[in-house]
Amino acid sequence: MRQAPVFAVVGHPNKGKSSVVATLSQNDAIAIALEPGTTRRRQTYSMTVDGEVLYTLVDTPGFQRPRRVLEWLEAHSLSASDRAETVAAFVQQHRDDPRFHDECELLAPVAGGAGIIYVVDGSVPYSAENEAEMTILRWTGRPSLALVNSIGPEDYGDTWEAALGQFFQVVRRFNAVRAPFEQHLSLLRAFGQLEPGWEQPLEQAVGHLVHQRRQRRRQAAELTARALVDMLSWQEQRTLTMNQAASQSAEALAAELREKWYQHQREREQALRVAVERLYQHNQIRRQEAALSWHNDHDLFSEGSRRAFGVSRSYLATAGFGAGAAGGAGVDALALGHSLGAGALVGGLIGAAGSYFYGDRLAVSALNLGPWNQGLQTASFGPVRDTQFGYVVLGRAVDHWWRISRRNHAGQDLLDLEPTSSHWLNRLDRTSRRDIQRAFELCRKKRRPDSETRDRLAQAMEAAFQAYDDWRLNPE
């Protein structure tokens, strides 16, 4: 079995090496800090998909005394033909010397056969001091690629590229925090061209990563569909004895169950967010969002959320017609087709009317008291009566998915979840609109969607993800 390629990520301290490793290995647990010296010993991180290691990255300390190292190398090399062996000899001879601890840590994997990813900060001016580092790396004879990773706002990338091109086979600009997924794949393909034995495994790695990305979106859609059904159909219940019913007013009981119902919805939404974050291997996310409370504009039940994520009455009427027509088709089937489509038409009109009249408020539910049975009574609150609630949850969920799916694992900033427009739904195809509305209506009517309806809802969620992605990239 062919061994997966290994890349040593090297460079000067505090230039973004660990950020590059975090992004390319999809590991947000890697320590990233602004102060130099965060990484003191080399550490390996493998990119694994379905149990198969695609490639391994070695995070290394930064160069500390490159000029001294180069002086030693030049003094002990007889010709260009022995330079790689001279570098290996330096590591062997100085591995226990504290003066060259960092250099030995970063050169050891290279001497052992790893490829080189040399990282510089393109937001600071080029300095000839880096040339000692680059010369040492060129002496190793290993396949090498340089990344211009701009940390600050300034841009000296052109100067860096001109200098780096004299030492490295490939030079790329790569912002570890913001680089899109396609750039990750481009780097792997570039390395495959540098070492013949790596071309096939790295092309396979690209295929695995693309498949993984599609699979994650599908799984995220299923998670979202499941959460929507749970939230829209949820009932908060309490069984009362006669004494309990007599000691508590209906208003107090309704307030108690209503608050529990609200709390469940908040917790279910948070559970969905965590599940999506874990799916994309974001385990250290810190979110920037207003606390979910009844009076907050960012709250799940607030008028602010309804305005941001809710849909227009015309949209509800259109989607409601599709859902109602699908239900009305059963009438035609029972009539053996003699209704000439009247069932679908009537069902569509009823669905559109219901959606239209429910479209002007975010109604939740009311207290429902069941009959007494053997001295016990069941009080319930829910499910939600207004399908607008589903679109509020949907909008928030799709926005969260979009930010997580595009977030690199080097990102340490707070995830800022702000309300956005619901106009993206206009890009959703008619079938997906109908399937979403039909599932929402079933939940509102206290009927759990069957497996086929749930599958259609999950497929509609994938379409919603694509529509939202298109809208964010091209909002016009």
Tell me the domain boundaries of the chain. Answer: 6-194, 215-473
pLDDT digits (tens, 9 = 90+) for 185-244: 999 999 999 998 999 999 999 999 999 999 999 999 999 999 999 999 999 989 989 898
296: confidence class by pLDDT, cuts 50, 70, 90:
very low
What are φ and ψ of residue 280, in 5° steps? -95, 15
% of residues, the chain, pLDDT over 70: 81
DSSP code of residue 3: P
Instruction: Give the phi and the psi of residue 14 in degrees, each rounded to 5.
Output: 65, 40
Each residue's pLDDT tens digit, 398-411: 999 999 999 999 88
What does the pLDDT read at residue 331?
35
Residue 221 or 414, more confident: 221
Mean pLDDT for the chain overall? 84
User: Is the per-residue pLDDT at 345 higher than 50?
Assistant: no
pTM (2 d.p.): 0.84
CA dihedral 37, 38, 42, 48 (to 10 degrees): -150
Q: Which helix (H) or strand (E) holds 346?
A: helix 342-357
- Nearest CA-CA partner of 69 in 42, 88, 50: 88
Identify the burial level of 347 via C-beta atoms within 10 angstroms of its C-beta, where 0-12 means exposed, 13-18 middle and 19 or more buried.
buried
Strand 52-59 to strand 115-120: parallel, antiparallel, or no bridges (unpaired)?
unpaired
For residue 347 the two structure tokens come to: 């069902």
E-state strands within 60-125: 115-120
CATH of domain 6-194: 3.40.50.300
Distances (CA, A) of 465 to 161, 208, 267, 413, 471: 37, 21, 23, 23, 10
Residue 438 and residue 453 in contact, taking contact as beta carbons nearer than 8 Å: yes
The residues pairing with 53 across neighbouring beta strands, listed in sequence order, are 48
In b/e form, how buried is each residue of 111-138, taking b as 16+ CB within 10 angstroms? beebbbbbbbbbbeebeeebbbbbbbbb
Percent of the chain with pLDDT over 90: 56
104-133 pLDDT tens trace:
999 999 999 999 999 999 999 998 889 999
Residue 28 CB neighbours (<10 A): 21
d(CA 236, CA 258): 8
Q: How far apart are CA 440 and CA 330, in angstroms?
A: 19
pLDDT of residue 112: 94
